[in-house]
Structures are given as structure tokens and as C-alpha cells.
A and B are shown apart, each in its own frame.
Chain A
Amino acid sequence: MLYAILCYHDEDFVGSWTREQDAAVMQKLAVVQDGLTKQGRLGPVARLLPTTSATTLRKDDPPVVLDGPYAETKEQLLGFYIVDCNNLDEAVEVARDLGAANPGGAYEIRPVGLFQPGGSLK
């Protein structure tokens, strides 16, 4: 079974780390990740840019584009895509296409700051 592990934290807190503190945490995480990679168990890893860079597409009829992250709590996170786009407009278009195929709910669109494609899973 593949598992997704979703990372939640207070971004003010994480954002207030100094560069050294941030690097120290990443270093420690890398140790864990390396172990998984060697076992052929680690898929893609992504670190998202802060929520200030987020845009939300609410899949209403018609769909509405809003600045900021998805703030409602009544829906649950059900999945995610990683899509290569030249700019935010393209990403919003992709989200619209997906939304047309599956209306209702919302997509939060977040630029990926750091992406490790990962090895092929065994």
C-alpha cells in the first residue's frame, strides 16, 4: 500500500526559523529520507511555498478563483496533483479542467518550492 504523509505545522513558527535552524531540520529529515530511498520506499517529496502564495479555485457553478489558501474546514483533503505549469494562469486552467470533470469542493493551488521526484518505488 502506498501512503501519503501530509505535513502540517504553524507556518509563522516554521517561517521564523533562521536559515541555520531550517537547514538543521532539513538535514535531520534527509537522514530519514535517505534510509527510505535506499529501501526503494520513498516516492516524491515536496515542500510547498507559504500559504501567502496560494490561490484557491472553488468549484462552484461558475467556478470562483480566490486569493489565499483553502480556509474552510467542512471539506476534507482527498488527493493532490503535481502539475508542471509555466505560470499561475496555466495552473488555474488545469484546475478548471479538473473541476469541470469533477464539480463541487475546491482546489487549492500552491507553488512547489522544493521537489524531489524520488526513485521508482519497489
Chain B
Amino acid sequence: MTDTAWIDAALTSARPQAVGALLRYFRNLDTAEEAFQNACLRALKSWPQNGPPRDPAGWLIMVGRNAAIDEVRRSSKQQPLPEDEAISDLGDAEAQLAERLDGSHYRDDILRLLFICCHPDLPATQQIALALRIVSGLTVKQIARAFLVSEAAMEQRITRAKARVADASVPFETPGAMERSTRFAAVAAMIYLIFNEGYSAGGDTADIRGPLCEEAIRLARLLLRLFQSEPEIMGLTALLLLQHARAAARFDADGALVLLDDQDRGLWNQKMIAEGLALIDKAMRHRRSGPYQIQAAIAALHARAARPEETDWTQIDLLYGALEIMQPSPVVTLNRAVAVSKVRGPQAALDMIEPLDQRLSNYFHFFGVRGAFLMQLGRNDEARVAFARAIALANTSAEAAHIRMHLDRLMRDGAPRDAKAGK
């Protein structure tokens, strides 16, 4: 690894803690961010010469704070400090500083940062954008690319989010115990949304949007370290790891979607699977189930099957049943129907989803799954209608291409085939 790659990695990992601490000093997102940027610039100059500091976050906090105070003095035309004064005594200050940053503030600083990004006044799109900018440190350009919008539009979205946070006069005090427990759920939901933005990308944009999945996993781990005994955060982290473990197998060389049953399981990332399984194991010991844990347990059953035939669909059906009770939603029922089709056949599955057609009338997956069940039942004309509707509703070209494959097959031989439902 080159010097700059090391420094980049160090700056990225120190970022949440450093920006969180700077926010505690300055109580203003823009000032905190600028102070951190300044500190990073100085790090890029200083670290290659002097070597990286023992505590990069501590270094960045102190230099960032000095630089910002400096900036205030300069702009108010009071005794500007010489540029390097802030840095020159760092060597002596560092040991002392590291002691002060003994981690007592660590948890609160990062929590405050996450809570601000997930402020209830902010719509989800702004929460995500703000978190990626402030906590993860992605550039506006990177975020804009990942969300397939122009840089100017993303800049505006983030500026609006910051303005709203300022208007809402977010308390910068240490979050109380009650607030912690009620608001971590909002942070978890935001992290899940970031992941889904990356996960739902088509093959053509997977390279651009895929890093969002990795960023979400990083944030989930961060949250888990703040809530070490919260089984739902273990479940969330496990869920993201297990889903992302399949990334390399989800698209073929042409960018077309490859269904779970058809994926080359040798391409699954076993390291991520191991970590995901370990976290579910840990969560289960608490005997406090929740939606993330259940979804993770479903993903784990897929991950544990070396071949598609070994998938424990009966257990998956049961888990979706539990999820339906906990978090009733037509999409959950639709997913359950796929498991039901494997266990009890396509007719039972079709019966299960028929009542959903009103509520899912604009949902791509509903018609894809419905078409597949109909095709398995040999009701080809109806299957064709369902597939045509699915194509019209497809969100990505990969989705449309996948359904077209089914349609082509129906056109070609008109006979029922071993159709595969699901996503």
C-alpha cells in the first residue's frame, strides 16, 4: 500500500470520531466539517514526513480545532497565528491529548452525529445524503453518482438538509438514555436504506452504486459498537453482510440479474458469510427477536445451503410467517409466497398472493413472481400478461431483461418450464 492509500484509510476510519468531536466544540455542521477538512489537508502534508500519529483521530481533532479557531481569528482580523504554530508543538501535546481522548466522549460524539443525520424532520433521502457526506465522508460528487443525480442537485439536497437541521435547533447536548434507545432505530433504518440503494442497483450501475453497500456495512458496525448488546443491530449488521456476500454472483458478464438459484455459490464471499453467521448466533442468545434478525436468519439459510436444493425452504417459510406478524406488509407476504411455492407448490403460492394485487399493482416483483407461478402451473397466457406488466414496471434494465427471458421461453416452446420465482 502506498503512503497516500494508508493515509486515506486512516483519515476515513478517524472521520466519524473526529467530526463528532469537532461538532461538540463548534455546534455547527459546516464549521466542524471545514475544520476536519483543514486537518486532513495538514495531515497529508505532515504525516508522510513525520509518520502517522499514534492516535490519528486525536491529532485530527486537535489540529482541526486549532485551524478553525485560527480561521475565526483571521476572519475577524485579530492576531492571525502563523500557519505552522498549531502543528509545531504536536509532538509534545500528543501523549497528553491521547489521554484526554480516553474514549469517554467517543460514544456520545458519534451518536450525536448519527442522530443529527437521522433527525425526524429530515426526509429519508436527505438523511441518507447527509450521513454519507458527514459521517462516511463521501464527496458530493461520489454521492451524486451513486444516486444517479447531478452534482448540483445533490449539493442542494445536502445544503437543504443542513439548513433544516440548523432550523430544528438540534440539541447538541449528550443524548440521554431514553433518546438513545428510541433513536437508534432511526439510525438503523437509515443504514438499511443506504444499503438498499446499493443493493437494488442494476448490473449496469452496480459498480457505481455497489460501494453504498460497503459504506452501509461500515456504519452498521459503527452502530453495533455503540450498542454492543442490541440484538437488532447485530441482526442488521448480519443481514447486510450476508446479502452483500453474494454481490459478485448477482450479475452475469452482461450485467443481467442472476437469481439466487442460478448463482455460482463459489463466488460468494465466505469471510462476510462467516461474520454474518457469527453475529446472528450472538443475537439469538438474547431471545429477543426482531425484523432485522429474522431477515438475517433467512439470508443465513440461503448462505448455509451449498447447493440451491439444500435450501431449507420450510424454515424460510416459517421465518417469513414470523416476519409477517411482526411487520405485516404485502411485500413480506410476496416473499413468503416464493418459499411456499417451493414447499407446497405453485397453486398454494398463487392463492397466497392473489389478495395482494390491489396493493402491489405497481410493484415489479409482484408480477414477476405471479408470472412465474402461473408458468409453473402451465397457465401460459396469464403468465404472459403478468410478465408483460412486470416489464412495464421494471426499475432497472437488468430486471426487464430477466423477465423478457421468461417471456421468450414462453413464446419459444409455449410449454411450462422450470420457472424460478423470486429475486
Question: Chain A residues in contact with chain B, CB under 8 A?
Answer: 10, 12-13, 15-17, 21, 24-25, 49-53, 55, 65-68, 87-89, 92, 111, 113-114
> What's the Cα separation between A55 and B284 when bound, in Å?
13
On chain A, the residues within 8 Å of B229 by CB distance are: 66-68
* B13 / chain A contacts, CB cutoff of 8 Å: 10, 12-13, 15-16
Chain A residues, CB < 8 A from B10 = 13
Bound-state Cα–Cα, A13 to B57, Å: 11
Check A16–B278 contact: CB distance below 8 A.
no
The answer to whether B282 and A16 have CB atoms under 8 Å apart is: no
Q: Are A50 and B221 in contact (CB under 8 A)?
A: yes
Contacting pair A114 B271 (CB below 8 A): yes
Contact B278 A111 (CB under 8 A): yes
| Cα of A67 to Cα of B13 in the assembled complex, Å | 23
B9 touches A52 (CB 8 A): no
11 A–B contacts from the bound complex (CB under 8 Å):
A13-B13, A13-B56, A15-B221, A16-B9, A17-B1, A21-B9, A50-B221, A52-B224, A55-B285, A66-B229, A111-B275
- Cβ contacts under 8 Å, B218 to chain A: 15-16
Distance, CA A10 to CA B12, complexed state (A): 12
Encode contact with A along B158-188: 1 for CB under 8 Å, 0 otherwise. 0000000000000000000000000000000
Contact: A89 with B285, CB < 8 Å? yes
Interface range on chain B (Cβ under 8 Å from partner): 20 to 34
With A67-B282, A88-B285 known as contacts, the answer to whether A50 contacts B275 (CB < 8 A) is yes
Q: Which residues of chain B are within 8 angstroms of A52 by Cβ–Cβ distance?
A: 221, 224-225, 228, 234, 237, 279
Q: B90 an interface residue at 8 Å Cβ cutoff? A: no
Residues of B within 8 A of A66 (CB): 229
Which residues of the other chain, A, contact B279 by a CB distance below 8 angstroms?
52-53
Q: Is the CB of B278 within 8 A of A49?
A: yes
Given the known interface contacts A13-B9, A68-B228, the answer about A49 and B281 at a Cβ–Cβ threshold of 8 Å is: no
State A88–B238 Cα separation when bound (angstroms).
15
Which of A15, A16, A17 is the most central at the interface, judged by chain B CB atoms within 10 Å of its CB?
A: A16
Cα of A47 to Cα of B49 in the assembled complex, Å: 31
Instruction: Flag if B275 contacts A49 (CB, 8 Å).
Output: yes
Contact B221 A17, beta carbon cutoff 8 Å:
no
Q: Among A50, A67, A92, which residue has the most Cβ atoms of chain B within 10 A?
A: A67
Which residues in A have their C-beta under 8 angstroms from that of B278? 49, 53, 88, 111
Chain A residue with the shortest CB-CB distance to B227 = A67
- Whether A25 lies near B1 (C-beta < 8 A) is yes
| Cβ–Cβ < 8 Å partners of B12 in chain A | 16
User: What's the least CB distance linking B315 to chain A, in Å?
Assistant: 16
Q: Does B253 contact A (CB under 8 A)?
A: no
Contacts of A13 in B (CB 8 A): 9-10, 13, 56
Q: A13-B13, A15-B13, A113-B274 are in contact. Are A55 and B221 (CB under 8 A)?
A: no
Cβ of B306 within 8 Å of any chain A Cβ, yes or no, is no
* Chain A residues whose C-beta falls within 8 Å of the C-beta of B274 in the assembled complex: 49, 111, 113
Excluding A17-B1, A87-B281, A89-B281, 4 further A-B contacts by CB distance (< 8 Å) are A12-B13, A21-B1, A52-B279, A53-B275
A53 CA to B237 CA, complexed, in Å:
10
Tell me the smallest distance from the CB of B47 to a CB of chain A, in Å: 13
For B285, list chain A residues within 8 Å (CB). Answer: 55, 65, 88-89, 92
Flag B125-155 by CB within 8 Å of A: 1 or 0 each: 0000000000000000000000000000000
Chain B 224-265 interface mask (CB, 8 Å, partner A; 1/0): 110011000010010000000000000000000000000000
Within B272-305, which residues are at the interface with A (CB < 8 Å)? 274-275, 278-279, 281-282, 285
Complex interface: chain A residues within 8 A of B325 (CB): none
Asked if B221 and A24 sit within 8 Å, CB to CB, the answer is no
Instruction: Enumerate chain B residues within 8 angstroms of A68, measured Cβ to Cβ.
Output: 225, 228-229
Distance between A15 CB and nearest chain B CB, rounded to angstroms: 7
Cα–Cα distance between A11 and B10 once the two chains are bound (Å): 11
A113 to B274, CA, bound (A): 7
Residue numbers in A under 8 Å from B271 (CB-CB): 113-114
Other-chain contact of A21, B5, B56, B224, B228 (Cβ < 8 Å): B5
Task: Give the docked Cα–Cα distance between A12 and B56 (Å).
Answer: 11
Contacts of A114 in B (CB 8 A): 271
Q: Point out the residues of chain A lying under 8 angstroms from B228, CB to CB.
A: 52, 67-68
Distance between A64 CB and nearest chain B CB, rounded to angstroms: 12
Contacts of A12 in B (CB 8 A): 13-14
Q: Residues of A contacting B237 with CB < 8 Å?
A: 52
Q: Is the CB of B275 within 8 A of A17?
A: no
Q: What's the nearest-Cβ distance from chain B to residue A70, in Å?
A: 12
A24: chain B residues at CB < 8 Å are 1
Cα–Cα distance between A67 and B14 once the two chains are bound (Å): 24
